[in-house]
Amino acid sequence: MSATDLATNGLPPIPRPIEEGWTLPASWYSEPTVLERELERIFTTTWQYAGPAEHVAEDGTYLASIAGNIPIVVTRAADGELRGFVNVCRHRGHVVAEGCGSRKTLQCPYHAWTYELDGTLRRAPRSEREPGFDASELSLLPVSVDIWGPFVFVNPDPDAAPLLDALGPLPEIVGHSGLDMDGLRYHSHVPWEQEVNWKVALENYLECYHCPTAHPGFSKVIDVDPDSYGLSIEGLVSSQVGPLREEARDGDMLQSQYHFLWPNTTLNISPGAQNISIERWVPLGPRRTVEATDYFFGANVPAERIEESLAFDNQVASEDVALVQAVQRGLDSRAVTQGRLMPESEQLVAAFQHRVHDSLA
Protein backbone atom coordinates (compact mmCIF):
# COMPACT_ATOMS: atom_id res chain seq x y z
CA MET A 1 0.00 0.00 0.00
CA SER A 2 1.40 3.40 -0.99
CA ALA A 3 1.74 6.47 1.20
CA THR A 4 -1.20 8.00 -0.65
CA ASP A 5 -3.33 4.93 -0.01
CA LEU A 6 -2.40 5.08 3.67
CA ALA A 7 -3.47 8.70 3.84
CA THR A 8 -6.85 7.94 2.27
CA ASN A 9 -7.15 4.96 4.61
CA GLY A 10 -7.20 7.36 7.55
CA LEU A 11 -3.51 7.08 8.49
CA PRO A 12 -0.77 9.71 8.15
CA PRO A 13 1.32 9.12 5.00
CA ILE A 14 4.87 7.74 5.06
CA PRO A 15 7.07 10.16 3.06
CA ARG A 16 10.04 7.81 2.52
CA PRO A 17 9.69 4.03 2.26
CA ILE A 18 10.49 2.01 5.36
CA GLU A 19 11.81 -0.69 3.02
CA GLU A 20 14.79 1.60 2.38
CA GLY A 21 15.65 1.95 6.07
CA TRP A 22 13.47 4.90 7.01
CA THR A 23 11.45 4.76 10.21
CA LEU A 24 7.73 5.08 10.62
CA PRO A 25 6.88 8.80 10.60
CA ALA A 26 6.82 10.76 13.85
CA SER A 27 3.07 11.27 13.53
CA TRP A 28 2.48 7.52 13.96
CA TYR A 29 3.69 7.86 17.55
CA SER A 30 1.07 10.36 18.68
CA GLU A 31 -1.97 10.37 16.37
CA PRO A 32 -5.08 8.92 18.07
CA THR A 33 -6.27 7.48 14.76
CA VAL A 34 -3.13 5.33 14.55
CA LEU A 35 -3.58 3.94 18.05
CA GLU A 36 -7.25 3.25 17.38
CA ARG A 37 -6.29 1.22 14.30
CA GLU A 38 -3.57 -0.61 16.26
CA LEU A 39 -5.97 -1.61 19.02
CA GLU A 40 -8.42 -2.90 16.42
CA ARG A 41 -6.06 -4.73 14.07
CA ILE A 42 -3.15 -5.82 16.26
CA PHE A 43 -4.32 -6.42 19.82
CA THR A 44 -7.63 -8.19 19.12
CA THR A 45 -6.10 -11.26 17.43
CA THR A 46 -2.74 -11.90 19.12
CA TRP A 47 -1.41 -13.86 22.10
CA GLN A 48 -0.43 -11.64 25.04
CA TYR A 49 0.88 -12.35 28.52
CA ALA A 50 -1.89 -12.23 31.14
CA GLY A 51 -0.32 -13.20 34.48
CA PRO A 52 1.25 -15.92 36.63
CA ALA A 53 -0.15 -19.41 36.20
CA GLU A 54 0.11 -19.82 39.99
CA HIS A 55 -2.85 -17.45 40.36
CA VAL A 56 -5.20 -19.87 38.58
CA ALA A 57 -3.64 -23.19 39.54
CA GLU A 58 -6.44 -24.27 41.89
CA ASP A 59 -10.12 -24.86 41.20
CA GLY A 60 -12.24 -21.84 42.05
CA THR A 61 -9.63 -19.20 41.21
CA TYR A 62 -9.56 -16.26 38.82
CA LEU A 63 -7.13 -13.69 37.40
CA ALA A 64 -8.12 -10.34 35.87
CA SER A 65 -5.84 -8.94 33.18
CA ILE A 66 -5.93 -7.00 29.92
CA ALA A 67 -5.16 -7.55 26.24
CA GLY A 68 -4.63 -4.23 24.49
CA ASN A 69 -7.63 -2.31 25.74
CA ILE A 70 -9.82 -5.39 26.26
CA PRO A 71 -10.37 -6.40 29.92
CA ILE A 72 -9.83 -10.14 30.34
CA VAL A 73 -10.57 -12.59 33.15
CA VAL A 74 -9.05 -16.07 33.35
CA THR A 75 -10.82 -18.65 35.54
CA ARG A 76 -10.45 -22.21 36.70
CA ALA A 77 -13.89 -23.52 37.57
CA ALA A 78 -14.78 -26.48 39.78
CA ASP A 79 -14.39 -28.82 36.80
CA GLY A 80 -10.66 -27.90 36.66
CA GLU A 81 -10.81 -26.41 33.18
CA LEU A 82 -8.92 -23.20 32.43
CA ARG A 83 -11.09 -20.63 30.65
CA GLY A 84 -10.79 -17.04 29.49
CA PHE A 85 -13.46 -14.39 28.99
CA VAL A 86 -13.94 -10.77 28.09
CA ASN A 87 -14.14 -9.22 31.56
CA VAL A 88 -17.11 -7.02 30.69
CA CYS A 89 -20.62 -7.45 32.05
CA ARG A 90 -23.23 -8.29 29.40
CA HIS A 91 -25.61 -5.82 31.04
CA ARG A 92 -24.14 -2.33 30.58
CA GLY A 93 -20.42 -2.87 30.19
CA HIS A 94 -18.98 -2.58 33.69
CA VAL A 95 -15.75 -4.53 34.31
CA VAL A 96 -16.74 -7.60 36.34
CA ALA A 97 -13.61 -8.81 38.16
CA GLU A 98 -10.53 -7.10 39.59
CA GLY A 99 -7.24 -8.56 40.79
CA CYS A 100 -7.04 -12.28 41.48
CA GLY A 101 -8.17 -14.72 44.13
CA SER A 102 -10.60 -17.49 45.01
CA ARG A 103 -14.34 -17.17 44.37
CA LYS A 104 -17.26 -19.43 43.57
CA THR A 105 -18.75 -16.80 41.25
CA LEU A 106 -17.89 -13.46 39.67
CA GLN A 107 -20.28 -10.62 40.47
CA CYS A 108 -20.45 -7.30 38.64
CA PRO A 109 -20.25 -4.52 41.26
CA TYR A 110 -22.64 -2.28 39.29
CA HIS A 111 -25.96 -4.18 39.35
CA ALA A 112 -24.89 -7.54 40.83
CA TRP A 113 -25.20 -9.62 37.69
CA THR A 114 -23.47 -12.82 38.78
CA TYR A 115 -21.54 -15.26 36.59
CA GLU A 116 -20.31 -18.79 37.20
CA LEU A 117 -16.59 -19.36 36.73
CA ASP A 118 -17.48 -21.16 33.49
CA GLY A 119 -18.83 -17.83 32.22
CA THR A 120 -22.56 -18.56 32.33
CA LEU A 121 -24.91 -15.96 33.77
CA ARG A 122 -26.17 -17.32 37.09
CA ARG A 123 -28.35 -14.46 38.27
CA ALA A 124 -29.51 -11.02 37.12
CA PRO A 125 -31.59 -9.26 39.79
CA ARG A 126 -35.23 -8.67 38.73
CA SER A 127 -34.73 -10.58 35.48
CA GLU A 128 -37.88 -12.59 36.34
CA ARG A 129 -39.86 -9.37 35.73
CA GLU A 130 -38.56 -9.09 32.16
CA PRO A 131 -40.51 -11.00 29.49
CA GLY A 132 -38.23 -12.95 27.16
CA PHE A 133 -35.11 -12.54 29.29
CA ASP A 134 -32.85 -15.47 28.36
CA ALA A 135 -29.83 -15.87 30.63
CA SER A 136 -28.36 -18.54 28.36
CA GLU A 137 -27.70 -15.87 25.72
CA LEU A 138 -25.82 -13.61 28.14
CA SER A 139 -22.74 -15.58 29.19
CA LEU A 140 -19.39 -13.78 29.37
CA LEU A 141 -17.82 -13.71 25.90
CA PRO A 142 -15.05 -16.33 25.51
CA VAL A 143 -11.42 -15.70 24.58
CA SER A 144 -8.53 -18.10 23.99
CA VAL A 145 -6.29 -18.96 26.95
CA ASP A 146 -3.26 -21.20 27.40
CA ILE A 147 -0.24 -21.75 29.65
CA TRP A 148 3.47 -21.98 28.92
CA GLY A 149 5.67 -22.71 31.91
CA PRO A 150 4.66 -20.38 34.77
CA PHE A 151 2.87 -17.96 32.40
CA VAL A 152 -0.78 -17.52 31.38
CA PHE A 153 -1.38 -16.12 27.89
CA VAL A 154 -4.65 -14.90 26.39
CA ASN A 155 -5.83 -14.05 22.90
CA PRO A 156 -9.10 -12.09 22.46
CA ASP A 157 -9.84 -14.22 19.39
CA PRO A 158 -11.76 -17.28 20.67
CA ASP A 159 -10.72 -19.21 17.55
CA ALA A 160 -7.01 -18.33 17.70
CA ALA A 161 -4.32 -20.75 16.57
CA PRO A 162 -2.52 -22.51 19.47
CA LEU A 163 -0.15 -20.54 21.69
CA LEU A 164 2.73 -22.86 20.80
CA ASP A 165 2.42 -21.75 17.17
CA ALA A 166 3.01 -18.15 18.26
CA LEU A 167 5.87 -19.07 20.61
CA GLY A 168 7.73 -20.79 17.78
CA PRO A 169 11.41 -21.23 18.78
CA LEU A 170 11.08 -19.47 22.13
CA PRO A 171 10.80 -22.53 24.44
CA GLU A 172 13.91 -24.10 22.87
CA ILE A 173 15.98 -20.91 23.02
CA VAL A 174 15.04 -20.30 26.65
CA GLY A 175 15.99 -23.90 27.41
CA HIS A 176 19.56 -23.17 26.28
CA SER A 177 19.95 -20.47 28.94
CA GLY A 178 20.22 -22.94 31.81
CA LEU A 179 16.82 -21.87 33.20
CA ASP A 180 14.65 -24.48 34.95
CA MET A 181 11.16 -23.29 33.98
CA ASP A 182 9.45 -25.86 36.20
CA GLY A 183 11.34 -24.65 39.26
CA LEU A 184 10.34 -20.98 38.97
CA ARG A 185 8.08 -19.27 41.50
CA TYR A 186 6.26 -15.96 41.16
CA HIS A 187 7.88 -13.19 43.21
CA SER A 188 6.43 -9.75 42.49
CA HIS A 189 4.60 -7.43 40.10
CA VAL A 190 6.00 -4.00 39.21
CA PRO A 191 4.21 -1.53 36.87
CA TRP A 192 6.29 1.09 35.03
CA GLU A 193 4.07 3.85 33.66
CA GLN A 194 5.73 5.93 30.95
CA GLU A 195 4.58 9.00 29.05
CA VAL A 196 5.41 7.47 25.67
CA ASN A 197 3.75 5.71 22.78
CA TRP A 198 3.86 1.93 23.19
CA LYS A 199 5.96 1.57 20.02
CA VAL A 200 8.64 3.94 21.33
CA ALA A 201 9.03 1.79 24.44
CA LEU A 202 9.23 -1.49 22.54
CA GLU A 203 11.59 -0.19 19.87
CA ASN A 204 14.00 0.76 22.63
CA TYR A 205 13.71 -2.78 24.01
CA LEU A 206 14.43 -4.27 20.59
CA GLU A 207 17.97 -2.97 20.20
CA CYS A 208 21.17 -2.83 22.22
CA TYR A 209 22.82 -0.34 19.86
CA HIS A 210 22.26 2.17 22.67
CA CYS A 211 23.66 -0.05 25.43
CA PRO A 212 27.34 1.03 25.43
CA THR A 213 26.30 4.68 25.70
CA ALA A 214 23.18 4.53 27.87
CA HIS A 215 23.69 1.38 30.02
CA PRO A 216 27.28 1.34 31.29
CA GLY A 217 26.46 -1.02 34.18
CA PHE A 218 24.66 -3.43 31.86
CA SER A 219 27.53 -3.35 29.36
CA LYS A 220 30.05 -4.25 32.08
CA VAL A 221 28.15 -7.47 32.75
CA ILE A 222 26.99 -8.48 29.26
CA ASP A 223 29.11 -8.49 26.11
CA VAL A 224 27.23 -6.15 23.77
CA ASP A 225 29.85 -6.19 21.02
CA PRO A 226 27.98 -6.71 17.71
CA ASP A 227 30.15 -9.76 16.95
CA SER A 228 29.07 -11.40 20.23
CA TYR A 229 25.57 -10.11 20.89
CA GLY A 230 23.22 -12.29 18.84
CA LEU A 231 20.06 -11.06 17.11
CA SER A 232 17.48 -13.35 15.52
CA ILE A 233 13.94 -13.25 14.17
CA GLU A 234 11.75 -16.30 13.66
CA GLY A 235 8.03 -15.99 13.15
CA LEU A 236 6.52 -13.74 15.82
CA VAL A 237 9.62 -13.94 18.06
CA SER A 238 12.59 -11.56 18.05
CA SER A 239 15.53 -12.52 20.27
CA GLN A 240 18.67 -10.96 21.70
CA VAL A 241 21.18 -13.31 23.32
CA GLY A 242 24.25 -11.88 25.01
CA PRO A 243 27.15 -13.81 26.51
CA LEU A 244 28.16 -12.88 30.04
CA ARG A 245 31.57 -11.36 30.59
CA GLU A 246 33.97 -13.57 32.53
CA GLU A 247 33.72 -11.55 35.73
CA ALA A 248 29.90 -11.77 35.65
CA ARG A 249 29.64 -15.57 35.47
CA ASP A 250 28.48 -16.09 39.03
CA GLY A 251 25.33 -18.17 38.90
CA ASP A 252 23.26 -20.69 36.98
CA MET A 253 22.54 -18.59 33.92
CA LEU A 254 24.71 -19.39 30.92
CA GLN A 255 23.38 -16.51 28.81
CA SER A 256 21.51 -13.26 29.16
CA GLN A 257 18.42 -13.41 26.95
CA TYR A 258 15.85 -10.83 25.87
CA HIS A 259 12.88 -11.97 23.81
CA PHE A 260 9.97 -10.16 22.21
CA LEU A 261 6.73 -11.93 21.27
CA TRP A 262 4.60 -9.86 18.90
CA PRO A 263 2.88 -7.61 19.67
CA ASN A 264 3.63 -6.61 23.30
CA THR A 265 5.16 -9.39 25.43
CA THR A 266 8.82 -9.44 26.46
CA LEU A 267 10.84 -11.97 28.48
CA ASN A 268 14.17 -11.33 30.18
CA ILE A 269 16.73 -13.71 31.66
CA SER A 270 19.31 -11.77 33.65
CA PRO A 271 22.77 -12.83 34.88
CA GLY A 272 22.99 -14.61 38.22
CA ALA A 273 20.66 -17.08 39.89
CA GLN A 274 17.60 -18.76 38.35
CA ASN A 275 15.38 -15.90 37.19
CA ILE A 276 13.08 -14.65 34.48
CA SER A 277 10.88 -11.58 34.17
CA ILE A 278 8.03 -11.13 31.74
CA GLU A 279 6.28 -7.94 30.68
CA ARG A 280 3.21 -6.84 28.84
CA TRP A 281 3.35 -3.34 27.37
CA VAL A 282 -0.15 -1.86 27.40
CA PRO A 283 -1.02 1.32 25.48
CA LEU A 284 -3.11 3.58 27.71
CA GLY A 285 -3.20 6.39 25.15
CA PRO A 286 -1.23 7.75 22.17
CA ARG A 287 1.54 8.98 24.52
CA ARG A 288 1.05 6.75 27.57
CA THR A 289 2.15 3.16 28.18
CA VAL A 290 2.35 0.90 31.20
CA GLU A 291 5.04 -1.78 31.26
CA ALA A 292 3.76 -4.36 33.75
CA THR A 293 6.59 -6.65 34.88
CA ASP A 294 6.22 -9.94 36.74
CA TYR A 295 9.36 -11.41 38.33
CA PHE A 296 9.98 -15.12 38.85
CA PHE A 297 12.87 -16.79 40.67
CA GLY A 298 13.96 -20.32 41.44
CA ALA A 299 12.42 -21.69 44.63
CA ASN A 300 15.80 -21.91 46.38
CA VAL A 301 17.28 -18.57 45.33
CA PRO A 302 18.40 -16.64 48.47
CA ALA A 303 16.73 -13.32 49.21
CA GLU A 304 19.99 -11.39 48.77
CA ARG A 305 20.46 -12.77 45.24
CA ILE A 306 16.90 -11.75 44.40
CA GLU A 307 17.58 -8.22 45.64
CA GLU A 308 20.73 -8.05 43.52
CA SER A 309 18.78 -9.11 40.43
CA LEU A 310 15.97 -6.62 41.08
CA ALA A 311 18.46 -3.80 41.65
CA PHE A 312 20.20 -4.59 38.35
CA ASP A 313 16.90 -4.61 36.50
CA ASN A 314 15.68 -1.43 38.20
CA GLN A 315 18.83 0.44 37.19
CA VAL A 316 18.52 -0.54 33.52
CA ALA A 317 14.77 0.14 33.46
CA SER A 318 15.21 3.61 35.00
CA GLU A 319 17.77 4.47 32.33
CA ASP A 320 15.41 3.22 29.62
CA VAL A 321 12.46 5.26 30.90
CA ALA A 322 14.53 8.44 30.66
CA LEU A 323 15.61 7.52 27.13
CA VAL A 324 12.18 6.76 25.70
CA GLN A 325 10.55 9.82 27.24
CA ALA A 326 13.21 11.97 25.57
CA VAL A 327 12.51 10.19 22.26
CA GLN A 328 8.80 10.93 22.63
CA ARG A 329 9.51 14.62 23.17
CA GLY A 330 11.59 14.66 20.02
CA LEU A 331 8.94 12.87 17.97
CA ASP A 332 6.22 15.19 19.25
CA SER A 333 8.13 18.18 17.93
CA ARG A 334 7.56 16.85 14.36
CA ALA A 335 10.80 18.67 13.48
CA VAL A 336 12.22 15.41 12.10
CA THR A 337 9.41 13.67 10.25
CA GLN A 338 11.30 10.38 9.76
CA GLY A 339 14.47 8.88 11.14
CA ARG A 340 17.04 6.62 9.46
CA LEU A 341 17.53 3.18 11.00
CA MET A 342 20.81 1.25 11.17
CA PRO A 343 19.59 -1.93 9.43
CA GLU A 344 22.29 -4.21 10.83
CA SER A 345 22.26 -3.09 14.47
CA GLU A 346 18.53 -2.33 14.54
CA GLN A 347 17.17 -5.20 12.47
CA LEU A 348 14.66 -6.15 15.19
CA VAL A 349 13.33 -2.58 15.24
CA ALA A 350 12.97 -2.63 11.46
CA ALA A 351 11.07 -5.93 11.60
CA PHE A 352 8.77 -4.53 14.29
CA GLN A 353 8.02 -1.39 12.29
CA HIS A 354 7.30 -3.45 9.17
CA ARG A 355 4.88 -5.63 11.11
CA VAL A 356 3.09 -2.58 12.54
CA HIS A 357 2.86 -1.07 9.07
CA ASP A 358 1.57 -4.27 7.46
CA SER A 359 -0.97 -4.86 10.22
CA LEU A 360 -2.50 -1.42 9.76
CA ALA A 361 -2.24 -1.23 6.00
pLDDT in tens, 68-90: 999 999 999 999 999 999 999 99
Q: How confident is the model at residue 209 (pLDDT cuts 50, 70, 90)?
A: very high
Q: How confident is the model at residue 94 (pLDDT cuts 50, 70, 90)?
A: very high
Please check whether residue 41 is in contact with residue 360, taking contact to mean a CB–CB distance below 8 angstroms: yes
Q: How confident is the model at residue 317 (pLDDT cuts 50, 70, 90)?
A: very high
- Each residue's pLDDT tens digit, 7-45: 547 899 999 999 999 999 999 999 999 999 999 999 999
- Work out the average pLDDT over 263-285: 95
Please check whether residue 253 is in contact with residue 271, taking contact to mean a CB–CB distance below 8 angstroms: yes
What is the Cα–Cα distance from 284 to 165, expressed in whole angstroms?
A: 28
Please state, in angstroms and as integers, the Cα–Cα distance from residue 267 to each residue in 173, 246, 284, 289, following that order: 12, 24, 21, 17
User: What pLDDT score was predicted for residue 130?
Assistant: 97
Q: How confident is the model at residue 6 (pLDDT cuts 50, 70, 90)?
A: low
User: What pLDDT score was predicted for residue 190?
Assistant: 95
User: What pLDDT score was predicted for residue 8?
Assistant: 41
Q: Could you tell me what percent of the chain has a pLDDT over 90?
A: 88
Q: Which residues pair with 241 in a beta bridge?
A: 230, 257
Please tell me if the domain spanning 48-159 has the same topology as the one spanning 165-360: no
Q: How confident is the model at residue 177 (pLDDT cuts 50, 70, 90)?
A: confident
Question: Residue 192: CB partners within 8 Å, gap ≥ 6?
Answer: 290, 291, 292, 293, 317, 321
User: What pLDDT score was predicted for residue 248?
Assistant: 63
Query: What mean pLDDT, rounded, does the chain reach?
Result: 94
The larger pLDDT score, comparing residue 5 to residue 19, is at: 19
Fold entry, domain 48-159: Rieske Iron-sulfur Protein (2.102.10)
Q: Is-above-0.85 flag for pTM? A: yes
How would you label 188-222 residue by residue, b for 16+ Cβ within 10 Å and e otherwise? eebebebebbbbbbbbbbbbbbebeebbeebbebb
Per-domain boundaries in the chain: 48-159, 165-360
State the number of CA atoms in the 13 A half-sphere of 284 facing the CB: 13
State the number of CA atoms in the 13 A half-sphere of 46 facing the CB: 24
Total residues found in the chain within this entry: 361
Q: What architecture is domain 165-360?
A: Alpha-Beta Complex (3.90)
Q: Which of 118-122, 264-268, 270-274 has the lowest mean pLDDT?
A: 270-274
